[in-house]
Structure 1
């Protein structure tokens, strides 16, 4: 690539302000043979071709840039999984160190979801107004920083508070990652690539389970620092914060802003530079020149563009709240109302069911070891202050690792089938089969049966989650994409909080009730998914 092109890319990679002279420096030969105008653009002085977003994405090609994007966004997605699920793996050990009852454990698992509920819509709103990349850097930093600090908390209330703030960061990165990633993808590859991105959740799950298996049972990780009894589970918490911090650095150093967001914000020259960056990386080793074109978009009213590009001004509280609430009003407006109501039901059902059960898997497996059934009457009481704690066997963490790894078949299945089958069908079928597997978990009486059905639930439920990750960005226009995903993930966090609180209250007294409730809710979500529109390979609005 020539020197002028490298100079034009520098601001996107470094994060420095874009110089106007650089924005006007796009040069190159128009090489595509078909388009809306049919002109080649090679003759001197001819006006550059006007392309829509989808056409520009196709011109930029598919290749190295998209695989780099998948790795960085995937690592960020994995870091969110690690941060969320690490709490479930530390429960069997930390319950003794922090003197926790089952209700306390339910409150702890709920704390991160409460933070995600608070952060989800707030970060999504900011991402739709100020940019995806900036929000991802800040939210991932908050996640990793406060997650790491929680390892040094000597008291339960402080540990709870820091996990809550960490959850605020997670709440921003999860919905924004998928909207950001989808806005770089060619239409015909979007379903498979988003499914591949969702697969990194499994990688994070396996990483968390592997770290728990390798670190928590070890005695060498137990020492005292300044009066704090730093046990192995605290080192595990520190290690779980590393992926989020490194993800924030990768986004800051390597990736540009979403071109779709830049176009909708009226920053067309910057969007062209992003497409140039994509083209240059995708066409390495190919004798092709970046074409000269301009961008056009007709999907956003001019007043919205002004709102997104203007600098913040002091406003009355009422005006600010009205602006923040506006995306929700638009989501439940006449044209989007039905899909929004259906998605609300689905997010509630799958989040209550999945997180309510998943966060308690290590504890339920421990009870299987003691009583032969996940609902064995094995109560968890807070130990006395001077009472020694019995070590938790490595079998619990090994089984958690096996359940996490059982996501793999479901992830491979969705990558292969998403573009041909469609997200709607996979979402409905995944939820219905998950419902059946949870019902059978309640019925079993042996450790082998329980572990087998838990693996089935893990492998099937991930199909539903991956389908939802693909459907979400396709159901809403750019101006609402991150806000809508943030809102619905916030609804999901409310459900996750309720699921964990219900398990914490009832797991000792009436374990059957929350398990059967999970089965019913997953069944409800699977039936509701049939009401969604089919969006297979649709163009992003």
Structure 2
């Protein structure tokens, strides 16, 4: 009975919206809701998911090339950490730039160009012969892939109504985890290959081929994205109401199978918030298509200042600092322990191969014995990476897929703060538990719980942030959040790289503690659906 009443109310509400939209201008939220939810949105989630998969491959590839490149490039633990940091530094440096550019020129344009450029840079980087060259190219990769890494949230969210926005972003997070499932599987196939090509004074090994393969997904997605539309919400915020309406009509036609002329909305209007934002944040005198480089630079600088000024006003400033800090703490955990898990798996397997009579050893005891183990195990003419490392990583990432599905299912069924708090608390506790593991099985079990909760929390926090901020500062807010997250990732990677071989307890306890502090901050998130 209650279900029937709810359905009748829903039908009445939609009918009322349709009748109103015939007589007056319609706001974007109502217009996108009238499009329904169907084929277009399913395909669009797949598109954004595949772009996100490309980004994830770039973010996770270091974890698999480091053990293999260790001998070729003579890498120390600090240098391994710095390779991860170089990639993240590139992302930090690009954050504000891509946010302002996307709010000025559009989400689609920036996504297309950065995906295509990143594929070229990745292919070139695979020919690196020294540590310094590889570090440089990984930093450039971080700069270019930083755009889709943050703008996908905004681009995806602006094609969805508030009812489906958070859920859709959580489902796209599934593809991130899928990428981290593909990485160890592909690495298991490619890296053990006996490849040692010599040409023009260059050496090309299996790990370099593995790196080159990472260029293919970004290239493909950049080309496919060319055929998709710009965000209609962005166009509406820019005053391009007619273009925005045409895109929304196409979405309606694809979802319902009806003709575009049947769409009940005659004219879109920007809300007072968006209309004011257009006057504050966008400079119509300096067209994005201007041929003058100086005018383009002036426009970017002016837009940057106006958007930062708008973002600095309460209550947006309070929410911005809160969301950025939470993301910082979670990314500390995600990258701090996440990228080093294959390394820890490898050390466990190498230790037990050399000492088969020892039944258990703690992580930190293992780390202190690492130098001796490496001396006994490493043969740089034949790099030894136990296949169990790939199997364990596959298991961890397969379990993470469950977390993404669960978070998407629960996103619109629990409170905004319930899900991130629960996930981050579990992540912090399981992160601490890694210190007490003594066997490969134990570290695998704890790693599964840790990776599942910390990765799912990242996507939930990102989706909440998209929902909080209005369109005119949405891209820069998300990019700045991503910037803070990368700073957290850099800090945790530096800590692990420098301290793992010296005092293993400190980085593990520190990172887990930071994640738990982020859980406390999520309690301060606003409960409302929209600011």
Q: Is contact 2:28–2:269 with CA below 8 Å preserved after alignment? A: yes
Distance 1:464 1:526 in 2: 10
The residue that corresponds to 2:16 in the other structure is 34
The residue that corresponds to 1:200 in the other structure is 175
Distance 2:482 2:419 in 1: 19
Q: Is contact 1:121–1:486 with CA below 8 Å preserved after alignment? A: yes
Greater share of helix: 2
TM-score under structure 1 normalisation? 0.87
TM-score under structure 2 normalisation? 0.88
What secondary structure sits across from 2:514 in the alignment? helix
Q: 1:303 aligns with which of 279, 294, 301?
A: 279
The residue that corresponds to 1:142 in the other structure is 117
The residue that corresponds to 1:283 in the other structure is 256
Distance 1:439 1:61 in 2: 45
Distance 2:21 2:455 in 1: 46
What secondary structure sits across from 2:164 in the alignment? helix
Distance 1:173 1:316 in 2: 22
Which deviations, in whole Å up to 9, do the C-alpha atoms of 1:96-148 show, x marking residues without a partner?
11111111101101111011111122111111111010011112122222122
Aligned length: 497
Distance 2:514 2:34 in 1: 44
Is 2:226 aligned against 1:237? no
Distance 2:312 2:443 in 1: 41
For residues 22-421 of structure 1, what are the structure 2 equivalents within 5 Å? 33-35=15-17, 38=19, 41=22, 49-219=24-194, 221-253=195-227, 255-284=228-257, 289-297=262-270, 298-299=272-273, 300-301=275-276, 302-304=278-280, 306-307=282-283, 310-311=286-287, 314=294, 321=301, 323-371=303-351, 372-375=361-364, 376=366, 377-379=368-370, 388-421=381-414
What secondary structure sits across from 1:419 in the alignment? coil
Q: 2:511 aligns with which of 499, 502, 518?
A: 518
1:518 to partner: Cα distance: 0.8
Q: Are the structure 2 counterparts of residues 122 and 305 from structure 1 closer, same or farther at C-alpha, using a change threshold of 3 Å? A: closer
Q: For structure 1, which segment, 173-182 or 189-198, has the greater mean C-alpha deviation from structure 2 after superposition?
A: 189-198
Distance 1:234 1:40 in 2: 57
Q: Is contact 2:91–2:142 with CA below 8 Å preserved after alignment? A: yes
Distance 2:78 2:340 in 1: 12
Q: Is contact 2:120–2:215 with CA below 8 Å preserved after alignment? A: yes
- When the two chains are superposed, the root-mean-square deviation of aligned CA atoms in Å is 2.5
Q: Is contact 1:140–1:244 with CA below 8 Å preserved after alignment? A: yes
Q: Is contact 1:264–1:305 with CA below 8 Å preserved after alignment? A: no
Extract unaligned runs of 5+ from structure 1.
Answer: 1-31, 42-47
The residue that corresponds to 2:493 in the other structure is 500
The residue that corresponds to 1:489 in the other structure is 482
